[in-house]
Structure 1
Amino acid sequence: MDYATKKLAEEKVFKDPVHRYIHVRDQVIWDLIGTREFQRLRRIKQLGTTYLVFHGAEHSRFSHSLGVYEIVRRMVDDIFIDMPEWDESERLVVLCAALLHDLGHGPFSHSFEHVFDLDHEEFTRAIILGDTEVNHVLTRVSPEFPQKVSDVIAKTYENKQVVSMISSQIDADRMDYLQRDAYFTGVSYGHFDMERILRVMRPKEEQVVIKSSGMHAVEDYIMSRYQMYWQVYFHPVSRSAEVILTKILHRAKDLSQGNYQFKQDPTHFMAFFQNNIELEDYIALDENILLTYFQMWMQESDPILSDLSRRFINRKLFKYIEFDPANEYEKLSDLKELFYQAGIDPKYYLVHDSISDLPYDFYRPGEEEERVPIQLLMPNGKTRELSRCSEIVEAISGKRRSDHKLYFPEEVLLQDGTQKTLKKQILKVLRG
């Protein structure tokens, strides 16, 4: 029997809190789930440091990846089947791309990427195309199949309809993580009527579109995404933990490039510190290893590395204040000088952190991070861009919201002892 069409003797199911059951009948999918590279995602949290704010947010990239696969499986097996605009020969490639789309995430994901200037999508494609168990499974379908899956994830696949199912402004990736993250954080913001959205999805030549009768369900989805970003993903306390995490790695890297002798050599990090990363180095690293090193680094003789590690492990996070970089740049410069005078290194203990989000965007051809807009399928068979029909979506279209904060160790500035007067002066400047 052809491996690409081979079915399991009996359907396998994963019990899931979001989708109830995740169904696997294809031998290829089952074999991919069993690879070491996919199993590694069990050891990567979906929400990074957010568990330090929402204690239930311990779920993994593994469960999210299964969820994205299940949504796409429902699209191709339940919704699009027998529709003339859907090419059944694309079924396996889109299922594999859905399952593997987050394969290259590193420990604590985006924070880790920022420190070492990495791109998880590049590593996803490297795992798919490299000498890995995942590649060996995909190659059994056909020699060119790994490249097809990689192209879908890279958004260069010739069938844009397939790409839009996994990467667009209303895709299976977003539909899973919004619901899954809302469930595990215990908030209500991320809930929307996915069943309704799936029922009104239709495959078109360039992308998946939504029947106009489902517009209000899409409005709800977009507002859910907006609320989740500002109430959960960009939570200032979680950002404080990310700041400390990144500063731990920066400090360890700085020390490794000098004459410092670690009590425990950072063996697992050396390839990253030296910017000489092999694929195996990346695959071997997960959050368990990072946390183990942080535990050990609490005992290091370097006071900064020791203190930052202790803060992260024991959740002794930095405080924060609002910051306006356009009007307060001089204030930040003054604060850095005062920190130096007080013997507190501002590189590690005074951090400007900024985030921004664009909840929905219309078509801006040629621009960086060009976004394909959501199209509504009208009763006459033509399509219209969502914001032209929805006043709610029109009100937020193309509007980027940003937030800036300064993070610092308030309790250090409140301590009695040396530099007490100077520390009081710093607090006065911080508090305006």
Structure 2
Amino acid sequence: MKQSSKLKIFNDPIYGFISIPSPLVFNLIAHPYFQRLRRISQMGLSYLVYPGAHHTRFHHALGAMHLMQQAISLLRRKGFEINQDEEEGLLCAILLHDIGHGPFSHALENEWVSGISHEAISLRFMEELNKEFSGRLDLAIAIFTGSYNKKYLNELVSSQLDMDRLDYLKRDSFYSGVAEGNINAERLITMLSVHEGRLVVEEKGIYSVEKYLLARRFMYWQVYLHKTGVVAEQLLIRVIQRARELGQSASLQSVSPALDFFLKQNPGKLEFTEEALKQYAELDDIDILASLKKWQKADDRVLAALCKMLLQRRLLSIKIKKAPISARSLQTKLEKCRAKTGMTESEAAYFVFEGVLHNRAYNQDNQNINIIKPNGKVIDVASASDHLNLEVLSQPVTKYYICYPKKGI
């Protein structure tokens, strides 16, 4: 790929001007792998609930990189050495941390290759880019994977208080219009420090951390796990599953060779080879939406109905409960659907199903957020809090749902 020596400034609605600090970063942004993120929705199908939520992974990656620039500058002012190579490695790592997301982000994450997370696919993309850029991403990859000897650099990229989370909470709150998710990312960054090679927060920043954790909880239940968004994502999953089940007849081909490639595969058996990565790099939201428009006229009644529900926003009903859905309740809804539609049980199961929702605002067992006191003592934020019981937020919350047609299909 031809490399540019240009630098550029992006005008971001959250932070104002975001500067591109080096030719390497500029050329990564200009690469087709990264430009694809312009066509990957940041919040899946949440725009069916919050009309403004049409921002993309491209926006988010640039915002996270901007916050990383601020964090690097802050830690240097506090006397912690981050050399120029480490700075570039950090910026490249955070810029590319989500490059492995597929269409509609988390909504379809397990429908292409089972058992491989978007983080693992991001790493594959980074390794391919590293070949193109003659090994200049070696340090970024080491930081991203946590193998670099300065652990706090990895924690800036991936932890419970990283630049990724700080940006997506603030950005998703802005675009969805849900004010409860708005956090003071700049204040949190100002409170960061390093102790014995690990990232910590100064004690005076504890209230900002509390607000941040509460914002995460609000955003998950109010936005990311909103019941309408859950229904829409489950319907989208079932569109892909039905299309794969029907096989690739001429009438059921999608409008995308990349999508057809994955529909022909068994996600549980597909190896993420170089060819699979090449096809994945061509896959984005547009492939899915264009195929939905085509399949809404398919001869298969199930596939056509699923596509119409999404395109016309005529979604299923959903009931969320604290206790698991009983087999009897599920079977009753299934029989009603069969009686109204004349479908077989396997066909009706595309429209009547149950599931589980999990949320945990803070995990004390994994890369916990540590508070450092003026005397140098380090304690977990849940123990340090004297204002709110953050240990409650560290407990996983589980809810159960059942979806079924409102009327006919």
TM-score by shorter chain over 0.5: yes
Q: Secondary structure at the match of 2:251?
A: coil
Render the CA deviation track for 1:132-171: whole Å, top value 9, x for unaligned: 4x6423x3xxx3x434323433344432111110111111
Amino acid at match of 1:125: L
Give the corresponding residue for 2:48. 52
Give the corresponding residue for 2:211. 220
Larger radius of gyration: 1
| Residues 125 and 190 of structure 1, relative CA distance in 2, 3 Å threshold | same
Out of 277, 280, 299, the position equivalent to 2:278 is 280
Report the aligned-residue RMSD.
Answer: 2.3
Render the CA deviation track for 1:23-62: whole Å, top value 9, x for unaligned: 1221111111111111100000100100111000000100
Give the corresponding residue for 2:94. 98
Does structure 1 conserve the Cα–Cα contact (< 8 Å) formed by 2:181 and 2:216? yes
Amino acid at match of 2:30: G
For residue 263 of structure 1, report the CA deviation from its aligned partner: 5.0
Give the corresponding residue for 2:251. 262
Give the corresponding residue for 1:18. 14
Q: How does 1:14-413 map to 2 (within 5 A)?
A: 14-76=10-72, 78-88=73-83, 89-116=85-112, 117=114, 118-130=116-128, 132=129, 135-137=131-133, 139=134, 143=135, 145-256=136-247, 260-262=249-251, 264-265=253-254, 267-273=257-263, 274-275=265-266, 276=270, 278-323=276-321, 326=324, 328-342=326-340, 343-344=342-343, 345-362=347-364, 364=365, 371-391=366-386, 392-412=388-408
Using the TM superposition, name which of 111-120 and 311-320 deviates more: 111-120
Name the CA distance, whole Å, in 1 between partners of 2:377 and 2:322.
Answer: 45
Name the CA distance, whole Å, in 1 between partners of 2:167 and 2:63.
Answer: 6
For residue 377 of structure 1, report the CA deviation from its aligned partner: 1.4
Does structure 2 conserve the Cα–Cα contact (< 8 Å) formed by 1:85 and 1:205? no
| Residues 393 and 65 of structure 1, relative CA distance in 2, 3 Å threshold | farther
Render the CA deviation track for 1:55-105: whole Å, top value 9, x for unaligned: 0000010010000000001111x2012544333242111111011100010
Render the CA deviation track for 1:241-285: whole Å, top value 9, x for unaligned: 10111111010000017xx54254563323213144511110001
Does structure 1 conserve the Cα–Cα contact (< 8 Å) formed by 2:325 and 2:354? no
Render the CA deviation track for 1:167-207: whole Å, top value 9, x for unaligned: 11111111100110011111101112222212111133432
Does structure 2 conserve the Cα–Cα contact (< 8 Å) formed by 1:101 and 1:124? yes
Render the CA deviation track for 1:324-358: whole Å, top value 9, x for unaligned: 55462332244334544552433201121321111
Name the CA distance, whole Å, in 1 between partners of 2:186 and 2:167.
Answer: 12
For residue 111 of structure 1, report the CA deviation from its aligned partner: 2.0
Name the CA distance, whole Å, in 2 between partners of 1:250 and 1:410.
Answer: 22
For residue 289 of structure 1, report the CA deviation from its aligned partner: 1.2
Amino acid at match of 2:39: R
Render the CA deviation track for 1:190-227: whole Å, top value 9, x for unaligned: 11222221211113343221110111111111111111
Name the CA distance, whole Å, in 1 between partners of 2:313 and 2:169.
Answer: 26
For residue 319 of structure 1, report the CA deviation from its aligned partner: 1.1
TM-score, scaled relative to structure 2: 0.89
TM-score, scaled relative to structure 1: 0.84
Does structure 2 conserve the Cα–Cα contact (< 8 Å) formed by 1:58 and 1:184? yes
Consecutive unaligned residues in structure 2, runs of 5 or more:
none
Name the CA distance, whole Å, in 2 between partners of 1:398 and 1:155.
Answer: 24
* Residues matched between the structures, number: 390
| Residues 8 and 81 of structure 1, relative CA distance in 2, 3 Å threshold | farther
Q: Secondary structure at the match of 1:106?
A: coil
Name the CA distance, whole Å, in 2 between partners of 1:226 and 1:356.
Answer: 11
Does structure 1 conserve the Cα–Cα contact (< 8 Å) formed by 2:369 and 2:380? yes
Consecutive unaligned residues in structure 1, runs of 5 or more:
1-5, 365-370, 414-432
Amino acid at match of 2:368: P
Name the CA distance, whole Å, in 1 between partners of 2:337 and 2:137.
Answer: 52
Name the CA distance, whole Å, in 2 between partners of 1:150 and 1:208.
Answer: 19
Does structure 2 conserve the Cα–Cα contact (< 8 Å) formed by 1:111 and 1:246? yes
Render the CA deviation track for 1:290-341: whole Å, top value 9, x for unaligned: 1111111111111111111111111111111234554623322443345445
Q: Secondary structure at the match of 2:401?
A: strand
